[in-house]
Structure 1
Amino acid sequence: MKIIKTSIIACMLLVFVLIDSRLSFAENTTDLSNIETFMDEFLLKKVEDEYIPNMVVTIVADGEVVFEKGYGLANIEGQVKVNPETTMFRIGSVSKLFTWTAIMQLAEQGKLDLHTDINQYLDFEIPARLAVGPNKEQPKPITLFDLMTHTPGFEDYSSDIFRLTAEEMPPLGQYVREYRPERVFPAGEVLAYSNYGTALAGYIVEQVSGIPYSEYVEENIFRPLDMNHSTFQQPLPTEFSTNLAQAYRYIDGEFKEGSFEFVPGAAGGMSSTAKDMAKFMQAYLQGGIFNGERILEEDTVQHMFQQQFTHHDQLDGMALGFIEKTMNGIRILNHGGNTALFDTGLYLLPQENIGLFISYSGNNYRTHTELFEAFMDHYFPSDNSVTITSRGEESSRKYVGEYHQNRKSFTNEDKISSLIMGMIHVQLNDTGDLVVTHNGETNRFVETEPGVYKNTREGSSIDAYGEFRTIVFQTDPHGKIMLTTDGPMSYSKAPWYASRGFTFLSLILVILLFVGSLFYWGIKALVRRKRKTSQPKLVVLGKRFAIAAGLLLLFLVASIAISGGVDPIYQLPKEALGIVPAWSPLLNVIPFLLTILGIAMLIFTVLLWRRRYWRKLSLVHYSLLSLMMMHLVWIFWYWNLY
């Protein structure tokens, strides 16, 4: 009897385990029989209206490819159509998922520990010190877990990602040494998307496995999954050279061709096809296995799918490597990828056993997010209308201001780019609600509990990582108010003197004052020459210093206007592509020269007031010039432009 009872219990446990396992990777019950009609109706119009030269899409469900199609031409000149099986696209940061897969493989083998100081796996040192903030000494060590959740605390250099020649993009080991950013937040505390962090993880794969990163992925991921048209090599090897889709941008009525982009490999250098990416998605949706080949254990995949970090329980955050997203009440794991020319999106619905991959050139990230939104609304419709009751608290006033993303430079000249991109403006309306402007779109947010605000807009908002439906105000490790939202990004409130309005207004005033002074003194000089009058030598010398400063300032502005323009094809500042003018070394010297001239002008201001060589109005004018020049020097110092 005892044996029979034990057997019955064992059988019941076995059935429970099997059911639980089956539920983990459940079958999809959604009818996708009309998927081609739906996709064609949406994408053909999108391709035509937005001049997308080439695109590829694949959808998997229940272990099968239910849709796979190419749109447009892989090569316009040769009239080569996109083939979803063989046409390769640059997938940008979706490449990171392969780096995290490699990390988890090595962790399964006991060669890596996700919670150990990464310095144990490196042949150089990541300093145990923060570069900014009041508490710089001995923050907790950075771990692989921090890298996978984008919380290592590194600053970000936007000008060190893309290059147009192989010579300008160093090998991975050299890159992680020479382009190492400073630590600016304690590890594990602030979400700030980090390309460098993933490149560092790729180098750790090299160090621990003993083979180059691209070879490791080839042997341990591509080959088992039969991904025969995928590579991390840059440029593509000979056998793939004719497979890559040519990237174009529609400009002035015609498609302009772009060059091959070189990016830090492990963070964004992969090229692949829709067919290959379908296999990768199927492997994850089936618990780490595809066609009998296992790349990860099922428990590992389940662990990777779980939320690992968020700033608040009402926000989507980070799984291990995957970005969380909630849409129409369904939890999604996704990752976007952008080069200067290509845009890619990968979306997994684990509970529905569905995956969607899209890649294209010549447009922007909104296309893949719009496609996925349309897909969700069509196949998983939901009533998003929620009644939100505003608390209308006056305490919201403290959140008013300008917020800069924490994915930025803190210590070099890239810092000033935070005034151009990734900014959120928060204002207060008459009812005590917040009016939030983000990516050129303004939404009203109402407070539902202290520090938590909900978007009153129906439908999605423009955001690269999440739905931007909830924002939560907290305090960052440096004591600033921090705005957090869905995905791997956070924003800290800028002080008034670091705001875009104050900084740009200051620069405009300085430039106008000096330009006006140069014209005024030039006219006065002509009048004096005609009348044959002269001025004291001290006045002449003081003016010459001011004139030299003004001319240098004009040269600096003109040079930035010429060299700092946005490239129409790549839609990035030319400097970010490594394209700099021959005179660029001189531009680095100008701030120092202006500082010397500013100090000299201050000295002359004191001397001229003592000697009273000028009329009072002229002295006030010169004093104002001197003060504005020193204010400019302060701007150079604050934004690390020396």
Structure 2
Amino acid sequence: MKMVQREKFIGTLTIFLVLTCFSLSRAGEQKETPATPSSQPIIDAASLEAFIDGVITAELKAGNIAGVTFSLVKDGVIVLAKGYGLADVKNRRPVEPDKTLFRPGSVSKLITWTALMQLVEQGKIDLNDDVNKYLTKFKFPETYREPITVANLMSHTPGFEEVIGSMLVRRPQELISLEDYLARNMPWRVFPPGKITAYSNYGTALAGYLVEVVSGEKFEDYVEKHIFAPLNMNRSTFREPLPENLSPFMSKGYTFRKGVFVEHDFELFNGLYPAGSMSSTAVDMAKFMIAHLQNGQYGEARILQEETARLMHSRLFSADPRLDGNAHGFWEKTWNGVRMIEHGGDTIYFHSQLVLFPDYNLGYFVSMNTGGARSDLRKHLLEAFLERYFSRPLPAEPEPPADFSKRASELVGNYLFSRAVFTKFYKALSIFSQVSVSVTPQNRLFVALPSGLGSRQWVEIEPYYFKEVGGYGRLLFGKDERGQVRYLYFNEYPFMIGIKARWYEKKNFVFLTAIICSLLLLSFLIWPVGSFLRRLCRRPKLEMKRKPAARWVLGVAASLQLIFLLALFSLISNEQNLMYGVTPALKFIFALPIISIPFLFVAFLFCLVLWWKRYYLVCSRIHYSLILIAGIIMLWLLSIWNLLGWKF
């Protein structure tokens, strides 16, 4: 993997993390003007197919995508269901929308939330109940005064840190039960519940477990009986590996490398399967969309009562009334006053999106089978679709308020995402996924997103509330209990927020400190190289007091830390090394900085002796001291990011 690819992966993993789509949301933003009857979309099947053909065909070529499946529904009818490209490149098997199974990733969550709402409807689960009420095998600690409620799980506000390790396994026999996974991988509670959105696969999997506990049925059995069967979704399943009757119809997953499509094995989700393991066809997903758009009904079947369906489509949580939020598992989006509820989904090799327009009885589903594609089909398709059927001109750009400069300094800085790991070594991924906020000479905000996700300018329209220059985006800054600006809310990313980084957490500080310390540590090589050159050239030794053991001890400490940094970067640059859990090699290299500690302590004692007894020249003593200080600072830096010790 090239260096640029490694940096991009590490930077986006905290945001992307397999089962969510970061870039979907940007297309659907604009709230001021309510929709009028004249904006009702006219969906003509022939023109729609030509339009969709044009968008997807162009993206197949531009993005090096092997295959795409698509379906669109309107007024209870499947208007278009079509496959593009190949489900199996080697055998030239085409994508068929009614037969070929794709992996929708986190779109699977909508099935889980629907199952949960069925039990809410039956009075077996209360959204306001403490989740511990339903748990017997394990309980969540009372870290905060407020309990974690079922509604907190739906809105992704339980306050959990991210769970990354062991999300996937390589062999079916390595799969463990949902209950065992949740008990073994219980995340720390890092935010008070109901306050901060931090997208949580664990939280959704926990909701799936509640379905199991309350219904008395295995999760995959429950959804097959109570959702898939009534909707005639005969080619949908959460089971892993796939049942024999469905396996032949599964699309292969691909990456595009060196001009060819590389086939990959079926991904096995370990324990978190209610959050993203479903396999389904575009036609089956169309049936699911119709049921939701018709408030729970599909033909003669009903999976939700109308009142329950309407509740599920209504807002559950938002950080601010001016921003989009969560609708009982769906994510809200608006464009030209048109409200959408949607969900994106990502595995390593499949990327999907389901979008519903409840007021228009309209929705579509799209999925592609190629990971790391150069083009984001979902984002471009949604943008094109909205421009075609809900188009409007951009409003006039406002001028920055005269008093903005008084607030500008409060906003500047780096922001860390709330969706992150806080207690394990994965915390270090947050170094690469920071949002940078600065002020331009024109009194506008310049906001740079991490990992090639772009940068934009923003103008203030209300105190601490901003509009995107040349776009529909909105962002808001929030204050903490001390009255200081601490939070950054993106309208387009309602599933997480930005939290202002402390000075020692800022990316530039971390990188600069790590580079300077590494160079100083590396400079210990001057000693053995100098000694070798003197012997080679037969130069006489300088007449000075020497302490060779001091250099050897510090050299060992420096070597251990440098080897650790190189080995760590090499191992985590392969995404699968993180998603499949901690490897023995990773456990071994984490011993290296620990082993360096006693060597640094002895080197510190030597340093005192060197200055007291005046061993070596003054410049050599200064050099020795700088290497020692660099080693100590490096340990401090590793400790901050949970890289010191076995924090797995």
TM-score normalised by structure 2 residue count: 0.88
What code does the residue aligned with 1:162 have?
Answer: L
Deviations 1:184-228 (A, max 9, x none): 000000011111000111111111111111001011100011100
Partner secondary structure for residue 326 of structure 2: coil
Q: What is the distance in 2 between the residues matched to 1:189 and 1:253?
A: 47
CA shift at 1:612, angstroms?
Answer: 1.4
Report what 2:420 is aligned to.
408
Q: What is the distance in 1 between the residues matched to 2:480 and 2:289?
A: 36
Deviations 1:13-32 (A, max 9, x none): xxxxxxxxxxxxxx976233
Report what 2:282 is aligned to.
274
Report what 1:225 is aligned to.
231
Q: How does 1:9-408 map to 2 (within 5 A)?
A: 30-33=42-45, 34-130=47-143, 138-263=144-269, 264-363=272-371, 366-392=376-402, 393-394=404-405, 395-408=407-420
C-alpha contact (below 8 Å) 1:150/1:488 kept by paired residues: yes
What code does the residue aligned with 1:539 have?
Answer: K
C-alpha contact (below 8 Å) 1:345/1:369 kept by paired residues: no
> 339-348 or 445-454: which moved more?
445-454
Q: What is the distance in 2 between the residues matched to 1:182 and 1:438?
A: 27
CA shift at 1:508, angstroms?
Answer: 1.5
What code does the residue aligned with 1:599 have?
Answer: F
Report what 1:135 is aligned to.
none
Q: What is the distance in 2 between the residues matched to 1:338 and 1:481?
A: 30
Greater than 6 Å deviation, 4+ residue runs: 477-480, 534-538
Give yes or no for the alignment of 1:483 onto 2:493.
Answer: no
C-alpha contact (below 8 Å) 2:103/2:277 kept by paired residues: yes
Between the aligned residues of both structures, percent identity stands at 35
Give yes or no for the alignment of 1:436 onto 2:447.
Answer: yes
Partner secondary structure for residue 245 of structure 1: coil
Q: What is the distance in 2 between the residues matched to 1:211 and 1:220?
A: 11
> 323-332 or 53-62: which moved more?
323-332
C-alpha contact (below 8 Å) 1:470/1:485 kept by paired residues: yes
Q: How does 1:580-619 map to 2 (within 5 A)?
A: 583-619=585-621
Report what 1:22 is aligned to.
none
Q: What is the distance in 2 between the residues matched to 1:561 and 1:102?
A: 41
Q: What is the distance in 1 between the residues matched to 2:48 and 2:596?
A: 63
What code does the residue aligned with 1:600 have?
Answer: V
RMSD: 2.1
> 601-610 or 222-231: which moved more?
601-610
C-alpha contact (below 8 Å) 1:186/1:477 kept by paired residues: no
Listed as ranges, the gaps of 5+ residues in structure 2 are 1-38
Report what 2:477 is aligned to.
473
C-alpha contact (below 8 Å) 1:336/1:346 kept by paired residues: yes
Q: Per the alignment, do residues 185 and 536 of structure 1 end up closer, same or farther by CA in structure 2, a change over 3 Å counting? A: farther
What code does the residue aligned with 2:518 have?
Answer: I
Q: What is the distance in 2 between the residues matched to 1:217 and 1:437?
A: 41
Q: What is the distance in 2 between the residues matched to 1:198 and 1:314?
A: 26
Q: What is the distance in 2 between the residues matched to 1:518 and 1:51?
A: 46
C-alpha contact (below 8 Å) 1:318/1:324 kept by paired residues: yes
Q: Per the alignment, do residues 160 and 504 of structure 1 end up closer, same or farther by CA in structure 2, a change over 3 Å counting? A: farther
Q: Per the alignment, do residues 408 and 46 of structure 1 end up closer, same or farther by CA in structure 2, a change over 3 Å counting? A: same
Q: Per the alignment, do residues 52 and 535 of structure 1 end up closer, same or farther by CA in structure 2, a change over 3 Å counting? A: farther
CA shift at 1:260, angstroms?
Answer: 1.2
What code does the residue aligned with 1:517 have?
Answer: F
Partner secondary structure for residue 390 of structure 1: coil
TM-score normalised by structure 1 residue count: 0.88
| Counterpart selection for 2:555 from 547, 556, 569 | 547
Q: What is the distance in 1 between the residues matched to 2:114 and 2:370?
A: 29
> 474-483 or 149-158: which moved more?
474-483
CA shift at 1:480, angstroms?
Answer: 6.5
Report what 1:16 is aligned to.
none
CA shift at 1:476, angstroms?
Answer: 5.0
What code does the residue aligned with 1:373 have?
Answer: E
Report what 1:17 is aligned to.
none
Q: Indicate the structure whose relative CO is greater, using CA pairs within 8 Å and at least 6 residues apart.
A: 2
Q: What is the distance in 2 between the residues matched to 1:404 and 1:143?
A: 26
Q: Per the alignment, do residues 129 and 628 of structure 1 end up closer, same or farther by CA in structure 2, a change over 3 Å counting? A: farther
Report what 1:4 is aligned to.
none
Report what 2:637 is aligned to.
635
Alignment length (residue pairs): 593
Partner secondary structure for residue 622 of structure 1: helix
C-alpha contact (below 8 Å) 2:103/2:279 kept by paired residues: yes
